[in-house]
Amino acid sequence: MKILVGIKRVVDYQVTVRPAADGKGVETAGVKMSINPFDENALEAAVRLKEAGVATEVLAVAIGSAANQDVLRHALAMGADRALLVETDAVVQPLQTAKIYRALVEREAPQLVMTGKQAIDDDAAETAQMLAALLAWPQATFASSVQISDGKATVVREIDGGQETLQLALPAVISADLRLNEPRFIKLPALMMAKKKLLENIALAELGDTAAPSLTLLNVAEPPPRKAGRILNNVAELVAALRAEKVLP
């Protein structure tokens, strides 16, 4: 069984993001970029399935500029067998991403596609569901446990107020939540080995028509700041303040 893992290159989660000077995007000049943390969970799950003998090949794919080679090398070092970069300088939104993945699924014929539940830049949480729809495959989003046997995936999903278990007939799309696993730390020999693995580039146009309705970004701004707070001296002052705010009886 082949697993295709979707990877997105995003501003590192530890960076404090700022609006770009023109307010039409986010300042990325000189900012550290990393693999989207949820995609790292998806990749870790796929690599573990290979190590367990359930999967035979793990293919990591990314969409974007040539700069994405860094996150794909990271994926190869984590244990992906090969990587594929769909090159474009355009901003690709979720539905177009799903259409690009569909084209790759048609080329590569994986039995399972895994990706993060959302990217920590646009926080859309849409791509996995859209891809499953386009392929007419079942989906399990926000997965915290994945088991594969007899052509079926048994997935525990994080839902509001608890969790639920679904069984999907493969092929299927699964999106990873943080608690699915703890991604491995990459050691230097793995990084060196990754340089020998195949990283293929494909021009976006080669995949045919992937156009999709897209949102126009008008403005990016910091949310209005909360009014300055006060440090109080003791519990009595706190209770008095909260009663004055009418949030305590």
Partner 1 sequence: MSILVIAEIDSHGIKAATRSAITAAGQLGGDVHLLLAGSDLEGIALQAKSIKGLSKILVADAAEYANGIAENLTPLLVKLAPGYSTVLAAATSFGKNLLPRAAALLDAAMVSEVTQIIGERTFVRPIYAGNLNATVTAPAGLALITIRQTVFEAVAETGGDGAVESIAATGDAGKAQFISRELAVSDRPELASAKVVISGGRSLGSKEIFHDTLEPLAAQLGAAIGATRAAVDSGMAPNDAQVGQTGTVIAPDLYIAFGVSGAAQHVGGIKDAKVIVAVNHDAEAPIFKVADYGLVADLFDVVPELSAALKQ
Look at the chain and count its residues. 249
CB 20 to partner 1: min, Å:
10
- Residue pair 155/140 in contact (Cβ under 8 Å)? The answer is yes
H or E stretch at 176 = strand 172-176
Q: Given the rule CB under 8 A, which of 16-24, 40-48, 84-92, 185-193 is the region that contacts partner 1?
A: 16-24
Q: Among residues 16, 30, 185, 188, which is the contact residue for partner 1, using CB under 8 A?
A: 16
Buried/exposed 34-58: b ≥16 CB within 10 Å, e otherwise: bbbbbbbbbbbbbbbbbeeebbeeb
Q: Given the rule CB under 8 A, which of 51-59, 189-197, 199-207, 210-218 is the region that contacts partner 1?
A: 210-218
- For partner 1 (CB under 8 A), the number of binding residues is 76
Residue 33 contacts partner 1 per CB under 8 A: no
Residue 91 contacts partner 1 per CB under 8 A: no
Nearer to partner 1, 145 or 201 (CB): 145
Residue 116 contacts partner 1 per CB under 8 A: no
Q: Which of residues 46-85 bind partner 1 (CB under 8 A)?
A: none
- Amino acid 103 reads A
CB 83 to partner 1: min, Å:
25
CA angle 88, 74, 97 (to 5 degrees): 35
CA 59 to chain centre: 15
Q: Among residues 52, 169, 193, 205, which is the contact residue for partner 1, using CB under 8 A?
A: 169
Nearer to partner 1, 1 or 220 (CB): 220
Q: Both ends of the chain: CA-CA distance in Å?
A: 60
CA 51 to chain centre: 22
Nearer to partner 1, 144 or 201 (CB): 144
Residue 29 contacts partner 1 per CB under 8 A: no
Residue 164 contacts partner 1 per CB under 8 A: yes
Phi and psi at 6, nearest 5°, equal: -85, 130
CB 189 to partner 1: min, Å:
28
26 phi-psi bin (left φ>0, alpha ψ -120 to 50, beta other): beta
